[in-house]
Amino acid sequence: MGGPAGTDTTAGTMEWALSLLLNNPKVIVKAQNEIDTNIGKDRLVDESDIVNLPYLRCIINETLRMYPAGPLLVPHESSKDCVVGGYGIPSGTMLLVNQWAIHRDPNLWTEPNSFNPERFEGIECMRDGFKYMPFGSGRRSCPGEGLAIRVMTFTLGLLIQCFHWKRISEKMIDMTEGPGLTLPKAEPLLAKCKLRQEIESLLSK
């Protein structure tokens, strides 16, 4: 998520996150309650508050599990003959890791197609073996991981703290994936938002 593509991938992940939240309004309420309890209603969320908002981080983690910004990790090349999953791989072969499939593998995840931020509560999921790696793994993992997580968590926290969010109709948000290397939504997100009364009071001071 770092480098020239950082803006596009971060914005795309935010769109997926809001789409998931709009289809699961109870999660928005839980996240708002966490913010109201830990931050209060007399100031806005600050970047330094992220460590005290673990459920908000769970939402980001679950979004990245279901809709990783790079569904296929950066290509690698085998330096020597090897065996992967029972298949013989000759030296010099280009190798791609399909992390989208790993993140949806029912052998690794309970109900993998369900949005459930609670699955990440209480664990350091960013280092949970090789079943969760939205930024890659090892020496060639994305160097912008820390910045991307901070930006997304901080931004989503402000959006949840400041606004009430609703779908534009009773119809669920279309979660169809579009073509592209960064997993865009096929249909751009449209939603309704209204400034929360607590924030109106805060901004009027």
Binding residues: 142
Alpha helices in the chain (DSSP H): 6-23, 25-39, 54-66, 99-103, 145-162, 197-203
Give me 176's structure tokens.
């169809």
Are the C-beta atoms of 56 and 160 separated by less than 8 Å? Answer: yes
Binding residues for heme: 142
Nearest to 63 by CA among 174, 162, 153, 159: 153
Helix, strand, or coil here: 115? coil
